[in-house]
Chains A and B, each alone.
Chain A
């Protein structure tokens, strides 16, 4: 079945450690996105990529980094520079055109202690 896989579903890390969240899609989509969601809040865009080896900062990119070496994969690294990393992280993908929806993974809930 085609879809987007985020792993792990729950992740715990100690403060000061970098952590990488995985996002893989087999939908043959060119565009991929990372969002952060805090409790009771909306989705805020961290990074997005329209094509392999290219990505752009979203509204809250500070403290995060990404790579897009393969079309299928768009991992997100939460660095120690991110002041409040505990949140729910959602990855999405879509075709590059403007008239199709984004498909989402199940999300990763990151807790930093």
Chain B
């Protein structure tokens, strides 16, 4: 069954340090996509980064990178040089399947609350 696990309920990090948020997933599908979202206290969901199961290189978007280890089924988010504005909830998500024939759903992990200390 499709499942996302985030084992860090909360993390505290000093400003300007790098931080890694853990995500492991379970799927029997060979084709899937992995996503990370940020949710500030306002409640909006902000898309950060995407990694496809067939992508050989780790995805990067500015200060965000995704450490994709397919054999371990992990997709950790790395934030370099953290800023006070990075304080938020972070969610890992997955979608199985490709194409219009797939009734694919997107499921989310339980999230990690990241707090940046000045």
Contacts and interface: CB of A to CB of B under 8 A. Distances in A.
Interface of A: 30-31, 33, 35, 40-45, 48, 50-51, 56, 58-59, 88, 90, 92, 94, 96-104, 106-107, 109
A92 B107 CA distance: 12
A21 B97 CA distance: 29
B33 A33 contact: no
A97 B31 contact: no
Contacts of A88: 43
Contacts of A31: 104
Top 7 A-B residue pairs of the complex, sorted by shortest distance between their CB atoms: A104-B45, A42-B110, A43-B108, A98-B98, A101-B47, A96-B100, A98-B33
B108 A50 contact: no
Given A42-B111, A50-B103, A96-B99, A101 B43 contact: no
Contact of A58 (B43, B105, B110): B105
Nearest to B44: A106
B91 A92 contact: no
A58 B52 CA distance: 23
B91 A97 contact: no
Contacts, number: 79
A104 B100 contact: no
A99 B98 contact: yes
A94 B33 contact: no
A99 B95 CA distance: 8
Contacts of A90: 43, 45
B50 A101 contact: yes
B35 A101 contact: yes
B51 to A, nearest CB: 10
B64 interface: no
Contacts of A59: 107
A97 B106 CA distance: 11
A50 B97 CA distance: 12
Nearest to A101: B47
A1 to B, nearest CB: 15
